[in-house]
Amino acid sequence: MAKATKKPSREDIVEALMKLAAERPWDDIEINDVAEAAGISLSEFREAFPSKGAVLGSFARMIDLKVLEGSSDDLVGEPARERLFDVYMRYIDALTPYKASLRRIATVVRTEPLTLAALNQVALNSHRFLLAAAGIPTEDGLGPIKLQGSVITLARTLETWFEDEDPQLAKTMARLDRELNNAERFMQRAEDLRRVTAPFRAIGQALLDGRSRMRRRSKRDEPPEDMSGETQDPAAAI
């Protein structure tokens, strides 16, 4: 009896794409190439992913899971900066086997605004979990700023990491340290601005709430319309 062949998983397809990306320019890789490298048909590729970019999105989730499986329990009592530094370095460690691929991909993505925007959305989703792993809240009023700031901080650090061949990653860690300094200063200004503008935002919200109540009351006071859509005059019944 013939032994059943194991069907390639989504992760196998991701690995096939990243292997190709290490060898060829990103914009030269077609979905046919990925399917062939993964040992699947186009229909099987389509069943698993809608596009090459979607495979890259799955790669991002795969890296997230590897980082989240790690533990920062020993840093629970440490400042937020130290917790973030630890999570970012764990993320970079998870990326290390794919460094050549990511370097090539980044070179192309930087010149494609639409692709960059799509990947930024993927990165925002990733960083929601990375910040959670570091114990950083993102559901407050400054949450969107924290998320985008985190994406920028790591992206700038990766620029140095791509060229850092030192196993100890001294240059990468120094760059991350500088970027965290910049992020801290920016967030402090954002916090100060939020405190200063809080009374004005409260007044604005009260005005919006008042207008909304007036509109609802106005609709209740409007005379009903008949089937033809014409406004009924109460005096017509006299």
Start-to-end CA distance of the chain, whole Å, equals 93
User: Structural domain boundaries of the chain?
Assistant: 10-194
Write the CA distances from 50 to 42, 43, 57, 118, 185, integer angstroms: 11, 10, 11, 14, 41
Chain segment 135-161, per-residue pLDDT in tens: 999 998 889 999 999 999 999 999 999
Mean pLDDT of 160-166: 97
For range 213-223, the mean pLDDT: 61
pLDDT, one tens digit per residue, over 36-88 is 999 999 999 999 999 999 999 999 999 999 999 986 667 777 888 999 999 99
Residue 3 has pLDDT above 60, yes or no: no
Q: What is the pLDDT of residue 215?
A: 65
Q: Residue 193: is its pLDDT beyond 80?
A: no
Q: Which CATH number fits domain 10-194: 3.30.930.10, 1.10.357.10, 3.40.640.10, 1.10.3720.10?
A: 1.10.357.10
Residues 6+ apart with CB under 8 A from 3: none
pLDDT greater at residue 19 or residue 194: 19
| DSSP annotation of 225 | B
